[in-house]
Chains A and B, each alone.
Chain A
Amino acid sequence: MDNEALINGYFEDNLSENEKGEFERLLNTDSEFAADFEFQKELQRSLKKEERQQIKAMFGAQNPFAEKTPTKVVRLRPWLMAASIALLVGISAWLIFFTNTGIDAGQLYDTNFVPYENVVHPIERGAQIEDLKTKAFTAYEDEDYGNALALFKELQQKQTDSYIQFYEAIVLMQLNKHQEAVPLLENYISGDGELKDRAIWYLALAYLKQGDTSKSSEQLDKLIKEDGFKAKAARQLLENL
């Protein structure tokens, strides 16, 4: 049995006792054999580790990011908080009393729209920024939305990951281009993407911003029925529409 076949046999786990002995002998005496074997073993280890990372990332994306605290939470001193609440209540009461339009879609949109966290392409800070996807999501995380849009558009040409549509739509919403965002979200949703329920939420917000409350309500109803992501927020928002 030649050396290559011997090493293959090791990995296939079908060496006879004699062959195992031969394998050990060569490992200890033939440095080229040992190097060859070590390289293959290292390849196997690396592939395994890489796969585990990918699987863990995939699992990570299964979770709503409920555990992560929002990065921009302002802690108000209690009296200041009470005063602001009182002020808000006063203003809302005044608005409700004196305005003719029942709802302020813009206000509702602003209180509800938060760019969705990057859960699909973990970025290692400090890593060489080589590939396009990393560049795009780095720009996204850095809130450099103009740049991110260009990069996502480029990515769309080259890749088939459907979640690109989702993140591109959010970027468009940040840039106030809601009429461009809507078809992307609709497409992503009909493609049954991973983040479908998130997309429905953002679609509802996009319709809201465009002033189409009936379409917005339709999407919110879907979330409420699923009773999953943002069901409670959807209910509250619906009440206000």
Chain B
Amino acid sequence: MNDKQLIAQLKKRDRNALKDVYRQYKTEFFRFASRYSKDTVLLEDIFQDAIIAVYENVLAGKLDDLKSSLKTYLFSTGKFMIFKNFRDTKEVATEENYIFDRKETAVMEDVYEDEGPNENQKKLIESFKKLGDKCREILELFYLQGLKLEEIMSVQGYENKNVAKSQKSRCLKTLRELVGRG
């Protein structure tokens, strides 16, 4: 799969595409990152964080018109993560120098700082899992994949945008009730 295809698949939240990226770039990334640290456990964390950040930026549409290669984007993200981990690292000039905008760096910061769901968030997830398939789908499309209601309307086959809107609204209401019940 070439870059464009990979990015398209990632945008659809295709887990196999994520695996492909992981497998494809792991060795090279470790080689690239090892000049900063020999701690392979840490490098593994950084690598995974980098892929996830790229993935989330793909979902946000940031790679829709990517001019450079996916590798450059990924490795530049990795560099960002590395510097987050080793603040006193001297900047080494490398080929991977993609310039990110503020939204992109916000995503990377968020991924870096993520300590995992807290207790309340875990409870929310538990309640979410109790929702029916249709509700989980529409909520994931909207809140996770970032689709607009109009897009969800076509993807899910609703008659019009308002149907999608009220369906989502109903699902949210159900979720709030489930959470309320604890």
- Interface presence of B70 (CB below 8 A): no
Cross-chain pairs A/B with CB under 8 angstroms, 30 sampled: A4-B165, A4-B169, A8-B165, A11-B146, A14-B148, A39-B172, A40-B143, A42-B124, A43-B139, A43-B143, A43-B175, A47-B143, A47-B144, A48-B56, A49-B121, A50-B125, A51-B144, A52-B52, A52-B114, A53-B116, A55-B18, A55-B51, A55-B52, A55-B55, A56-B48, A56-B52, A58-B15, A58-B19, A59-B18, A59-B48
Chain A positions within 8 Å of B22 at CB level:
59, 62
Could you tell me the distance between the alpha carbons of A8 and B169 in the complex, rounded to whole angstroms? 10
Which interface class (under 10, 10 to 19, 20 to 34, 35 or more) fits A? 20 to 34
B132 at interface by CB-CB < 8 Å: no
Across the interface, name the chain B residue whose C-beta is closest to A44. B143
What residues make up the interface of B, taking CB atoms closer than 8 Å to A? 15, 18-19, 22-23, 40-41, 44, 48, 51-52, 55-56, 110-111, 114, 116-117, 120-122, 124-125, 128, 139-140, 142-144, 146, 148-149, 165, 169, 172, 175-176
A49 to chain B, nearest CB (A): 4
CB within 8 A of A62: which of B23, B52, B117, B120? B23
Which residues on the B side are within 8 Å of A39 (C-beta)? Answer: 172, 176
> Is residue A46 within 8 Å, beta carbon to beta carbon, of the partner chain?
yes
Encode A8-49 as 1/0 by CB contact (under 8 A) with B. 100110100000000000000000000000011011111111
